[in-house]
Structure formats: structure tokens, C-alpha cells
Structure 1
């Protein structure tokens, strides 16, 4: 995953564009992916308040940690990719990306 300029201002939208939408599309035909994303979404729901700002801040911090570890998304659904997909799913389901505001 290669983050473009502006990702820090809108981390949810950036991750959705680079990874999330494709993975969310895969969920329509992959029940195993649905189950894995659901587990990661449950962890997020238990760990943080689910509002646009907090979820965006979480994703921003998570991406910073992944960059420090030189993690890249190559299509493998490892734990970081699943967590980011879960954040995208929660953002979509909560309507955080619908109004065009930074998310």
C-alpha cells in the first residue's frame, strides 16, 4: 500500500481508496473474509468509540505503526490488512464516508 499525499488529513478515505473498497467487494463472495473482518470489527468496537474522528485517528496511528514496520499491502490478507478492512467496513456502515467530509 502506497499512501498518497493527504492521507493524514483523511486516513479512512485514503485506506478505503487503496485497500478497503476492493476488500469490501471481495466480502460479497468470500464468507471466510466476512468472518475475519467481523472479528476485527468487534475488536475495534470494543476498543474505541465509533465516531468518524476516533476511527480516523485510530487508522492514522495504525498506519504510522505499519510504516515504522515497513509493512506493505501486496494483496495478502494478513492481520494488518484485515484490521484496515474492518475499519473501512465500519466507516462505510456508519456512513462516515458519505458526505465527502475528511474522514
Structure 2
């Protein structure tokens, strides 16, 4: 399974939390914006750009490697990593990158 598919399968269920966790929603939105700015293909415009799928995959692999090296375990709540992984999942789903 590709890293994007693995992340999406694990973190898409967290989208349900957006309905009752405003702070989580805002944090994920900020992560989405940062990832778009960092990885977007094409020129800037009014319509949010899709990230380059290869660049997002490379980023996800590096992020997962860093989490593994730090022995990160998913918490019950929302830490930086959960927000970032949920944002990756959101981008994959929003832009149909799988």
C-alpha cells in the first residue's frame, strides 16, 4: 500500500471530528494551507491548487520516517502529527490523488 493510501485509510475517519472540534478543524486547515504552499504545482491563483502527487508522496514518506525515528504513537487527541497526517489525507481526498 502506498504511503498516501495508508495515511488516507488511517486519517480520513478523523474528518468526522471536524463537525464538533473547531480547533482541530482550524489546525488541519492551517496544515493544508502550508502543504499547498510548499508542494503545489502550477501557478498561484484564486482556486486552491492541488499538490504535486509525487512531491506529496515524498513529503509523506519523510514525515512518516521522522515519526518512526521519534517512536511517535498516535495520541487520543490532536497533536502536530495528527493534524499534519489528517491534512495530507484531506488533500489526497480533495484532489483525488489516489
TM-score normalised by L of structure 2: 0.80
RMSD, aligned α-carbons: 1.3
For this pair of structures, how many residues does the alignment match?
Answer: 88
User: Post-superposition, which runs of at least 4 consecutive aligned residues in structure 1 deviate over 4 A?
Assistant: none
1:91 shift after superposition = 0.9
In structure 2, the residue matched to 1:27 is 18
Question: Partners of 2:53 and 2:20 in 1: how far apart?
Answer: 28
Query: Please, which runs of 5 or more residues in structure 1 have no aligned partner?
Result: 1-5, 98-103
Q: 1:68-102: per-residue Cα shift (whole Å, max 9, x none)?
A: 111011332100110111111111111113xxxxx
> Which has the larger share of helix?
2
Query: Please, which runs of 5 or more residues in structure 2 have no aligned partner?
Result: 41-50
TM-score normalised by L of structure 1: 0.77
Is 1:89 matched up with 2:90? yes
Q: Bigger radius of gyration, 1 or 2? A: 2
Is contact 2:32-2:87 (8 Å) kept? Answer: yes
1:45 shift after superposition = 1.1
